[in-house]
């Protein structure tokens, strides 16, 4: 069964600090992995998308890594800001003609001043 | 706004009511989706439409009835819901049902409360 597990479930850090969120998956055949940011009361917004051959991808202060051998991904946030407070969802795609997405439950990140 | 607009943003309905959720996208996408997001659970795919045809129905109870009159609009008709149906209902679109190069664009969702 395809699964995506994220850790930690929740995280609180001081503004300006860095943090790393983890995503482990058992999805096959693997197509791509996406990180989404979901603000409270809003829909998810895509941060990065990574395919099998990509090890790292950055989007501003967000850097995602992918290790396809160990089936792990991380999202590193540098110099956190209050606006980074949100849920971060890891989504892994399997490709069977149409795309099948498996969602993680997300990490709830809170940035405090 | 992301280009996918959902209305209403909030909805409270009784178990005997009939209501509809609306989703509209102006991105030129050909595939649209309904997802259910309950607290502390992963997003659950409900329905997939590609070029206005339903291509996936993930064992969703018949009290949820989707409608896709054209590639820009998607509705979710609700009737005789249960309290456990209370959740955030998200609409999404993509270039095609393979997800496309740019993935999925989500709306802001409708927060549904069934009383």
Q: pLDDT digit string (tens) for A83-97?
A: 999 999 999 988 766
**Mean per-residue pLDDT, A64-81:** 96
Residue of B nearest to A35 (CA): B103
pLDDT band at B37 (very low <50, low <70, confident <90, very high): very high
What letters, b where the CB count within 10 A reaches 16 and e where it falls short, cover A13-27? beeeeebebebbbeb
Chain B residues with CB inside 8 Å of A46's CB?
A: 102-105
Of the candidates A73, A71, A65, A63, the residue with the CA atom closest to the CA atom of residue A18: A63
Q: What percent of chain A has pLDDT over 70?
A: 97
Distance from C-alpha of B111 to C-alpha of B7, rounded to nearest angstrom: 10
Chain A CB contacts of B92 under 8 Å are: 43
B11 touches chain A (CB under 8 A): no
pLDDT at B111 over 70: yes
Model confidence pLDDT, tens digit, residues B42-53? 999 999 998 877
Statement: residue A20 has pLDDT above 90:
yes
For chain A, the maximum distance between any two Cα atoms, rounded to a whole number of angstroms, is: 47
Query: What DSSP designation does A9 have?
Result: S
Please check whether residue B111 touches A, CB under 8 A.
yes
Question: How distant is the Cα of A43 from the closest Cα of chain B, in angstroms?
Answer: 4
Q: How far is CA B46 from CA A20, A55, A77, A91, B80, in A?
A: 31, 32, 32, 16, 17
């Amino acid at each position: 069964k395809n699964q995506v597990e994220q850790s930690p479930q929740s995280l609180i850090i001081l503004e300006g600090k860095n943090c790393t969120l983890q995503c482990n998956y058992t999805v096959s055949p693997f197509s791509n992995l996406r990180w989404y940011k979901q603000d409270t009361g809003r829909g998810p917004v895509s941060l990065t998308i990574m395919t099998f051959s990509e090890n790292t991808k950055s989007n501003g202060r967000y850097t995602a890594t992918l290790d396809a051998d160990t089936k792990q991904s991380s999202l590193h946030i540098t110099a956190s800001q209050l606006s980074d407070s949100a849920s971060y969802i890891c989504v892994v795609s399997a490709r069977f003609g149409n795309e099948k997405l498996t969602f993680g439950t997300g990490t709830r990140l809170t940035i405090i001043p | 706004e992301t280009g996918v607009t959902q209305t209403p943003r909030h909805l409270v309905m009784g178990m005997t009511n009939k209501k509809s959720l609306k989703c509209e996208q102006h991105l030129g996408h050909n595939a649209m989706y309904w997802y259910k997001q309950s607290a502390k659970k992963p997003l659950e795919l409900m329905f997939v439409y590609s070029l206005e045809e339903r291509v996936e129905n993930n064992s969703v109870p018949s009290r949820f009835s989707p409608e896709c009159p054209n590639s820009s609009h998607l509705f979710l008709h609700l009737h005789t819901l249960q309290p456990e149906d209370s959740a955030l209902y998200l609409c999404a679109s993509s270039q095609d049902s393979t997800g496309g190069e740019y993935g999925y664009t989500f709306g802001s969702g409708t927060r549904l409360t069934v009383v």
